[in-house]
């Protein structure tokens, strides 16, 4: 097969992969090729083999590698793809069974159901929260925010508020708030109904004993006791006669079922070791995840559940609860996992770091939590756009933070004013400058209406400060442009000082450009970075007018967000380049 055809396959494989979260489909690629080159139909069998090979090769790459290759080999196609996405960005793929849901319930209803075990992170938000919200909005439906607080051993009171704060900051508006600990009496009614109908029972086996029964596919001795006995045990559970681990309500399914999770799964258990942060010691019988989830989805008439494919086993258990109660199950839409490269995204890793003192808080800028990302300056619109981009693909997706940054950059670049910052300042002495000199530098090069920064420099020789990182650009006899000022010719270079002379005002194409500050008109500045380091340097005089919380661009350094202006020191957090 010739190189021209291979490039054609590669082009369509890359385009298909990028459109679908990093996973190309061989059939779809084949269809595109046949539509573009009808003359290739006669060699379809041979072509299909090569398509399969190239698609597998493309799917082995990260989505960023796919984009890089498309940029390198097919730049025009990338531009077309960008234009296509501008037009269709808001067009989420349709949800299944929408018309049926509207016919039955009058509207579609989605839900986002976090547990108050820590601050929300981007993995939770991108799909489970943001897509549930956007789909409800798309179909003029409802979204329920459900806080799943049914394990008092791992939840904290403050996280309830944080969940609502973070969602609000992202622009996610829920139609109803449900807190599961408010509805325990309802769970008890349904559990009692299942027990009284012989569809559930109270198991008093030890965890180890039940595990053996489960592995050997045989019923535990409690399973076939009378309904009356199980109702008695149920009441004893509610009255506190059993301690933690001594009694569990189980759904009767089939102890010989081929799927181990369906061998009489647990529904409710006892927790009496700690008080609940909202209800104290009022309850000792707590619903387990699958039972509480199934009951709540039914009570709130949830029509579509959008969640990660890791919940496949949970969905199987919930379907059995629905079946036992005679309820109709919602449409389950399961998507692949989103992995953020460079982050241990799970909350347990963050909690461990907090306890060890390695992390300063849930908003530590090294973390992928929503609180940390917003603190750095990631825009809510960025997260919304990224959620639409990754959409509901069933495949796992690996994202680098650069993907997030690229979207954020498009949003903030037109808004962020420009300032000079020199890291690790080094003195620059300029002989024979054209003083006195008055210069005006725009706050934003594309927005003259925002005003300018005015400097009047009179001294000769002139003393300025430049970044130590730029020392490698200096060599005797080399000419360099001081941004917004003039050109200099280097005379002498050392690690502590550079001596140069004025060499003209003309902007010369290809001449290196660097930022600078005047030491008598500069503020000491600290920039905290996501890798845990702090860059120290000097920002220009006009940086003192930046408002706390404002995002600006330090020229040739990156975007930063001002956290605190302490007069003598400006404290920023680094966002991205």
Residue 477: per-residue pLDDT: 95
Flag whether pLDDT at 202 surpasses 50.
Answer: yes
CA distance 430 to 501: 5
Whole-model pTM: value is: 0.81
The mean pLDDT of 556-568, rounded to a whole number, is 97
Residue 85: per-residue pLDDT: 47
Which one-letter DSSP state was computed for residue 223?
T
The mean pLDDT of the chain is 92
> Is the Cβ–Cβ distance between 268 and 295 less than 8 Å?
no
Range from 24-38, 41-55, 216-230, 376-390 carrying the lowest mean pLDDT:
24-38
Residue 17: per-residue pLDDT: 82
Range from 104-113, 183-192, 260-269, 383-392 carrying the lowest mean pLDDT:
383-392
> Is the Cβ–Cβ distance between 433 and 460 less than 8 Å?
yes
Dihedral of alpha carbons 130, 133, 136, 137, sign: negative
Flag whether pLDDT at 433 surpasses 90.
Answer: yes
CATH number assigned to the domain with residue range 184-289, chosen from the 4 options 3.90.800.10, 3.40.30.10, 3.30.9.10, 3.40.50.720: 3.90.800.10
Flag whether pLDDT at 479 surpasses 70.
Answer: yes
Here the tokens at position 370 are 């929503």
CA distance 346 to 206: 30
Residue 83: per-residue pLDDT: 52
Flag whether pLDDT at 42 surpasses 70.
Answer: yes
> Is the Cβ–Cβ distance between 442 and 415 less than 8 Å?
no
CB atoms within 10 A of CB 219: 17
**For 78-122, how does the pLDDT look when each residue is reduced to its tens digit (9 = 90+)?**
666 665 444 344 568 889 999 999 999 999 999 999 999 999 999
**For 271-313, how does the pLDDT look when each residue is reduced to its tens digit (9 = 90+)?**
999 999 999 999 999 999 999 999 999 999 999 999 888 888 8
Range from 89-93, 121-125, 203-207, 524-528 carrying the lowest mean pLDDT:
89-93
Residue 344: per-residue pLDDT: 58
CB atoms within 10 A of CB 374: 18
Instruction: Give domain limits for the chain.
Output: 3-88, 184-289, 418-576
Q: Cα–chain-centroid distance for residue 110?
A: 20
Nearest alpha carbon to residue 553 among 414, 407, 446: 414
Residue 308: per-residue pLDDT: 85
More reliable by pLDDT, 3 or 342: 3
CA distance 576 to 24: 30
Here the tokens at position 348 are 């347990």
Question: Domain 418-576 has what CATH class?
Answer: mainly beta
């Amino acid at each position: 097969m010739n190189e021209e055809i291979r490039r054609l396959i590669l082009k369509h494989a890359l385009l298909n992969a990028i459109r679908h979260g990093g996973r190309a489909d061989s059939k779809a690629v084949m269809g595109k090729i046949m539509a573009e080159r009808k003359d290739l139909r006669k060699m379809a069998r041979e072509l299909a083999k090569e398509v399969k090979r190239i698609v597998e090769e493309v799917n082995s790459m990260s989505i960023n590698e796919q984009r890089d290759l498309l940029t390198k080999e097919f730049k025009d196609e990338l531009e077309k793809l960008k234009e296509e996405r501008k037009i269709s960005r808001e067009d989420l793929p349709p949800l299944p069974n929408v018309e049926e849901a509207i016919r039955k319930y009058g509207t579609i209803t989605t839900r986002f159901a976090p547990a108050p075990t820590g601050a929300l992170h981007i993995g939770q938000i991108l799909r489970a929260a943001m897509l549930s919200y956007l789909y409800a909005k798309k179909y003029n439906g409802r979204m329920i925010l459900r806080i799943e607080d049914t394990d008092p051993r791992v939840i904290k009171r403050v996280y309830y508020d944080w969940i609502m704060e973070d969602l609000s900051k992202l622009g996610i508006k829920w139609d109803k708030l449900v807190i599961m600990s408010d509805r325990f009496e309802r769970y008890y009614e349904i559990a009692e109904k299942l027990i009284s109908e012989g569809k559930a029972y109270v198991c008093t086996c030890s965890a180890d004993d039940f595990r053996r029964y489960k592995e050997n596919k045989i019923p535990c001795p409690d399973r076939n006791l009378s309904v009356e006995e199980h109702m008695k045990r149920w009441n004893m559970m509610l009255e506190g006669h059993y301690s933690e681990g001594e009694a569990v309500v189980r759904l009767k399914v089939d102890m010989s079922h081929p799927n181990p999770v369906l061998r009489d799964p647990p529904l409710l258990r006892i927790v009496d070791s700690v008080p609940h942060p909202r209800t104290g010691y009022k309850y000792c019988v707590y619903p387990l995840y699958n039972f509480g989830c199934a009951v709540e989805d039914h009570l709130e008439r949830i029509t579509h559940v959008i969640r990660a494919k890791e919940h496949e086993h949970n969905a199987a258990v919930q379907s059995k609860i629905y079946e036992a109660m005679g309820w109709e199950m919602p449409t389950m839409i399961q998507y692949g996992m989103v992995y953020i490269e460079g982050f241990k995204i799970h909350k347990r890793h963050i909690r461990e770091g907090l306890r060890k003192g390695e992390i300063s808080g849930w908003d530590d800028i090294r973390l992928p939590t929503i609180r940390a990302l917003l603190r750095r300056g990631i825009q809510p619109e960025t997260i919304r756009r990224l959620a639409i981009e990754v959409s509901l693909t069933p495949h796992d997706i690996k994202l680098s933070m650069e993907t997030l940054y690229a979207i954020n950059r498009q949003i903030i670049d037109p808004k962020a004013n420009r300032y000079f910052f020199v890291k690790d300042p080094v003195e620059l002495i300029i002989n024979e400058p054209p003083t006195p000199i008055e210069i005006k530098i725009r706050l934003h090069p594309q927005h003259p209406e925002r005003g300018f920064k005015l400097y009047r420099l009179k001294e000769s020789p002139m003393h300025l400060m430049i970044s130590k990182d730029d020392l490698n650009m200096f060599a005797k006899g080399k000419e360099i442009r001081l941004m917004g000022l003039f050109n200099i010719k280097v005379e002498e270079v050392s690690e502590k000082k550079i001596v140069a002379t004025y060499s003209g005002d003309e902007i010369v194409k290809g001449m290196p450009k660097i930022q600078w500050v005047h030491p008598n008109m500069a503020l000491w500045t600290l920039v905290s970075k996501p890798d845990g380091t702090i860059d120290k340097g000097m920002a220009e005089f006009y940086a003192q007018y930046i408002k706390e919380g404002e995002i600006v661009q330090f020229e040739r350094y990156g975007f930063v967000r001002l956290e605190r202006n302490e007069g003598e020191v400006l404290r920023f957090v680094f966002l991205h380049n």
